[in-house]
């Protein structure tokens, strides 16, 4: 009993650890995404950062010349500096001014070059990311869970745009954060070790407090991006249904809801700005304190009140000016880091939003080197051989074996999430199989021309898409050259002829986007008629054709499916008992699966 108890607790602990590991991995997913999208530009960004760091380090030479020239002007005569001939020449104001101007021009050119390199890299990253998003969305299976159109549009426009400042301003700072403070610290140490100690103590306080503020900044940025996505989806949804809202007298309530959405976004934006101003205040406070301590130390040293920190000789005007000029530039990369840290927080918040969308591979698809196999001439036999489907790494169908003779129906039954829609996606070639094969008349589906294969399917999805335009133009999407007689025949088969005849302009009646103006059942019947209009389809595929329909409408759709699938290889996925009552071979998908055979 004691042993069993210990085993149970050990199992629970292991599960807890696994859950914690999964949560940690999910929390770092946005970091991995950012690293992936900038991987191709990483070398160029690092090179630009080193160029910018070199431009900053040249300030040491400028400060040296400037301090030397001012020290020379302040000296009673030039002979006071006769101990070093090189310094004597450089202390001449005209020579020093010329060299300072040349170095300033060089610094400007290096900074412009680095800026142009990072701006170009940011544009390439955004272009590649948008391309991958669009390819991922275009290749997404019909059953894929995607955010609303407004959220997708906001992601492609605004969230991708938020990656640009991260690439352009934050990533190039890494070389500057390491090279510039170390270079200035070394120069200050050579001139006066006490100044180097002051800078060394004051410098790390800025990243410490910025990290604390940054945690809050990331949460605020996440909230702002979430509100933007929700507001975009909300506005698009209300714009699409504006006519309906006007008809039912809900415009006033909609105005209030839009105002509330805008107010939530305003509050989220102000939170981000509040934290940005706070971080700027913290940064300026500590950098000002560091510079002030250096200035006080230099002042008392020149007055003879402090003698420590020098290398044996009292501090002179040249050394004091030199270290005073170096101190602000020591904090310059840290100030840039603080300003760009919000770009990092915004980019991570945007990456969290982008994780909800399908992202295609960064490599362009490679055209197959072998010619595709020709399609069957007639409705084919369908075979599953050790078929395994594992979306997201979780096997919903494992080693499925089934033979469906040509011209027969297959009913796929199972609860939601069992894998019915995943199987439909694999049959249409919209997702690859994870094991085994789907055979069409003995030919591997993957070896066929999938675009041509889909053009020969009569397909009815759970949520059929109807487009803005006439009933005629929606039907013609299945068969461009279909005659009016063929359209009426297809509507008759789908049980939708009477519906269209009652419309004000018959086939010329205009429908709204997504079938606006039709009920779910009416849209489903129009979609079934569109599938029936396809001439000699090789196969009929239907995914939950009666979902959300009342019994009377569902009976009409089922009758249309029976007529359309007669003598044609058909795969119908449903958990509706009325659909499953059709005479057909039946496949019950259960979980977990090992070896499954279709049963009549």
DSSP for 430-447, please give it.
SS--SEEEEEETTEEGGG
- Dist CA 115 CA 41 (whole Å): 14
Residue (of 179, 193, 213) closest to 286 by Cα position? 213
Q: What are phi and psi of 386, to 5 degrees?
A: 50, 40
Q: What whole-number distance in Å separates Cα of residue 215 and Cα of residue 346?
A: 12
pLDDT per residue as tens digits for the range 8-54? 344 444 444 444 444 444 457 778 888 888 888 999 999 999 999 99
Q: What is the DSSP letter of 170?
A: I
* pLDDT tens per residue across span 271-296: 777 766 666 666 677 777 778 888 88
Mean pLDDT of the chain: 78
How many Å apart are CA 390 and CA 250, to the nearest integer?
A: 45
For the chain, the distance separating the N- and C-terminal CA atoms, rounded to the nearest angstrom, is 48
Q: Alpha-carbon distance 186 to 497, whole Å?
A: 87
**Per-residue model confidence (pLDDT) at position 125:** 92
Q: Of 89-93, 272-276, 396-400, 534-538, where does mean pLDDT reach its minimum?
A: 89-93
Integer Cα distance of 52 and 176 in angstroms: 7
pLDDT digits 0-9 by tens, 254-268:
778 888 887 887 887
Q: CA dihedral in degrees (209, 213, 214, 220; nearest 10)? A: 180
| Owner of token pair 């070639």 | 429
* 387 conformational bin, left if phi > 0, alpha if psi -120 to 50, beta if neither: beta
Please choose, from the candidates 74, 72, 73, the residue with its C-alpha nearest in 3D space to the C-alpha of residue 82.
Answer: 72
Q: Taking the model in full, what pTM does it have?
A: 0.61
pLDDT at residue 10, as a whole number: 40
pLDDT per position as a tens digit, 583-594: 889 988 864 444
pLDDT of residue 118: 93
List residues bridging with 587 in a β-sheet. 412
Query: How high is the pLDDT of residue 1?
Result: 40
- State the average pLDDT over residues 146-169: 81
pLDDT value at residue 49: 92
Q: Is 313 buried (19+), middle (13-18) or exposed (0-12) by CB count in 10 A?
A: exposed
- Residue in 519, 525, 528 with CA at minimum distance from that of residue 459: 528
| DSSP output for 99-135 | HHHHHHHHHHHHHHHHHHHHHHHHHHHHHHHHHHHHH
Decide if 454 contacts 142 (C-beta within 8 A). no
pLDDT value of position 215:
57
- Residue tagged 């002030």 (tokens): 292
For position 455, what pLDDT does the model report?
Answer: 83
- Residue 509 banded pLDDT, cuts 50, 70, 90: confident
The DSSP result for 371-429, as a single string, is: PPBPPPSSPPPEEEEEEEE-GGG--SEEEEEEEE-TT-EEEEE--TTSSHHHHHHHHTT
The pLDDT, as a whole number, for residue 462 is: 75
The alpha carbon torsion through 7, 10, 11, 16 (nearest 10 deg) reads 160
Residue 573 bridge partners (DSSP): 412, 543
User: CA angle 240-243-248, nearest 5°?
Assistant: 120
Q: Which helix (H) or strand (E) holds 195?
A: helix 193-202
Band of residue 310 on the pLDDT scale cut at 50, 70, 90: confident
């Amino acid at each position: 009993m004691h042993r069993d108890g210990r085993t149970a607790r050990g199992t629970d602990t292991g599960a807890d650890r696994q859950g914690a590991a999964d949560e940690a991995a999910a929390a770092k997913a946005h970091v991995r995404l950012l690293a992936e999208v900038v991987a191709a530009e990483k070398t160029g960004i690092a090179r630009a950062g080193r160029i910018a760091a070199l431009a900053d380090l040249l300030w040491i030479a400028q400060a040296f010349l400037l301090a030397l020239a001012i020290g020379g002007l302040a000296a009673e005569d030039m002979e006071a500096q006769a101990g070093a001939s090189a310094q004597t020449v450089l202390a001449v104001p005209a020579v020093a001014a010329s060299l300072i101007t040349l170095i300033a021009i060089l610094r400007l050119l290096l900074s412009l070059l680095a800026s142009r390199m990072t701006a170009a890299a940011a544009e390439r990253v955004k272009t590649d990311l948008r391309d991958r998003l669009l390819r991922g969305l275009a290749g997404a299976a019909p059953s894929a869970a995607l955010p609303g159109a407004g959220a997708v549009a906001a992601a492609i426009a605004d969230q991708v745009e938020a990656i640009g400042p991260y690439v352009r301003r934050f990533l190039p700072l890494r070389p500057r954060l390491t090279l510039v403070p170390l270079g200035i610290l070394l120069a200050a140490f050579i001139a006066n070790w006490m100044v180097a100690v002051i800078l060394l103590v004051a410098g790390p306080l800025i990243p410490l407090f910025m990290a604390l503020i940054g945690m809050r900044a990331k949460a605020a940025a996440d909230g702002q991006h979430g509100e933007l996505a929700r507001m975009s989806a909300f506005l698009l949804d209300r714009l699409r249904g504006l006519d309906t809202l006007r008809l039912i007298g809900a415009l006033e309530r909609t105005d209030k809801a839009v105002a509330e959405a805008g107010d939530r976004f305003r509050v989220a934006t102000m939170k981000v700005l509040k934290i940005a101003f706070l971080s700027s205040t913290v940064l300026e406070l500590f950098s000002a304190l560091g510079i002030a301590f250096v200035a006080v130390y230099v002042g008392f040293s020149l007055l003879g009140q402090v003698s420590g920190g020098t290398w044996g000789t009292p501090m002179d005007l040249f050394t004091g000016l030199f270290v005073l000029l170096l101190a602000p530039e020591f904090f310059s990369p840290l100030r840039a880091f603080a300003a760009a840290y919000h770009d990092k927080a915004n980019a991570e918040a945007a990456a969290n939003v982008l994780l909800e969308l399908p992202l295609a591979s960064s490599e362009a698809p490679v055209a197959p080197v072998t010619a595709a196999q020709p399609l069957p001439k007639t409705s084919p036999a369908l075979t599953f051989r050790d078929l395994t489907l594992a979306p997201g790494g979780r096997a919903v169908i494992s080693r499925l074996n089934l033979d469906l003779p040509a011209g027969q129906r297959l009913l796929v039954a199972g609860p939601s999430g069992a894998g019915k829609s995943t199987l439909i996606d694999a049959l249409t070639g919209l997702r690859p199989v994870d094991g085994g094969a789907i055979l069409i008349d003995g030919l591997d589906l993957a070896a066929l021309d999938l675009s041509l294969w889909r053009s020969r399917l009569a397909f009815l999805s759970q949520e059929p898409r109807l487009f803005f335009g006439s009933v005629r133009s929606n039907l013609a999407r299945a068969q461009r050259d279909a005659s009016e007689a063929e359209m009426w025949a297809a509507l008759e088969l789908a049980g939708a002829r009477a519906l269209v005849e009652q419309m004000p302009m018959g086939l010329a009646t205009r429908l709204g986007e997504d079938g606006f103006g039709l009920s779910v059942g009416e849209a489903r019947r129009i979609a079934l008629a569109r599938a029936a209009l396809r001439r000699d389809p090789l196969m009929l595929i239907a995914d939950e054709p009666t979902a959300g329909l009342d019994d009377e409408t569902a009976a009409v759709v089922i009758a249309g499916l029976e007529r359309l699938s007669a003598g044609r290889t058909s795969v119908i996925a449903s958990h509706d008992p009325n659909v499953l009552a059709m005479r057909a071979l039946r496949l019950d998908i259960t979980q977990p699966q090992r070896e499954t055979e279709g049963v009549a």
